[in-house]
Amino acid sequence: MSKIKVVLVDDHKLFRDGLKSLLLSNQDIEVVGEFGNAKDLIHQMDKLKTEIIITDISMPGMNGIELTQYVGKAFPEIKMIILSMHINKDFILSAMEAGAKAYLPKDIAGKELIEAIYEVNQGREYFNTLVSNIIMRSLMKKNQDNKGQNELTNRETEVLILVANGLMNKEVANKLHISVRTVDCHKNNIMSKLKLNTTAELVKYAIRNHLIEI
């Protein structure tokens, strides 16, 4: 069986050396290249024969998520694994959207990284328990937001958008040809359905759900 060919991209040489040593201790894996930044990797991409790239996120110049997007478009057959100290929802979801097949914290056990490489090489995604829980909580929050939004009437959605865009109640009333009292009623219903307490929270909700642009 041919070895799984892997490239490492991380701006910390000491970390790269440790990672390389770990991977080379496995008879199924071959490290065919290592780079301190994405730019140097890209200059050599046509020459490299690799199946997997393991990259950090925070690097000078192009970051790991941007690199993942680039590789996905230019070399779609190559699979991306992100190994990062940034374990939060925004980074994880951005990496997934960019096309990463695995996202792992840098402090994981070596055997778990090896397992991730095997899984990704077989065309599967790999997220450990910590990352999976973050993804799950984010999806549950999104579903709750969508549920609340779906419960809004068309008129309530109109009021929500206008208020989020900074219109006062009287201005909303004039624009929709309804009374100020009716606007107040709609706002109260919106706040109740979406479980919001302030206008600031309403604005954040509208931005997060792409109802308004900033």
In 3D space, the residue among 21, 15, 66, 12 whose CA is nearest the CA of residue 42 turns out to be: 66
d(CA 210, CA 201): 14
| 178, part of any domain | yes
How many residues are given for the chain?
A: 214
Q: Is the residue at 213 inside a domain?
A: no
| Model pLDDT, residue 45 | 92
User: What pLDDT does 132 receive?
Assistant: 67
Largest CA distance in the chain: 75
User: Do residues 57 and 104 touch, judged by C-beta distance below 8 A?
Assistant: no
Q: How far is CA 35 from CA 8, 19, 171, in A?
A: 6, 12, 57
Indicate the DSSP class of residue 27: T
| 83 neighbors 91 (Cβ within 8 angstroms) | no
- Identify the domain containing residue 63 by its residue range: 4-135
Q: Does 140 fall in a domain?
A: no
* Structure-block tokens of residue 96: 């997934």
* C-beta neighbour count of 29 within 10 angstroms: 19
Q: How is residue 58 annotated by DSSP?
A: -
* CA 42/CA 65 separation, integer angstroms: 14
- In the chain, the number of structural domains is 2
- Render each residue's pLDDT in the chain as its tens digit; 214 residues: 689 999 999 999 999 999 999 999 999 999 999 999 999 999 999 898 999 999 999 998 999 999 999 999 999 999 999 998 888 778 888 888 899 999 898 988 999 999 999 999 999 888 876 676 766 666 656 555 555 556 788 888 889 999 988 899 999 999 888 888 888 888 888 888 888 888 888 888 888 877 886 6
Q: Is residue 38 part of a domain?
A: yes
pLDDT of res. 91 = 84
Question: Do residue 79 and residue 155 come from a single domain?
Answer: no
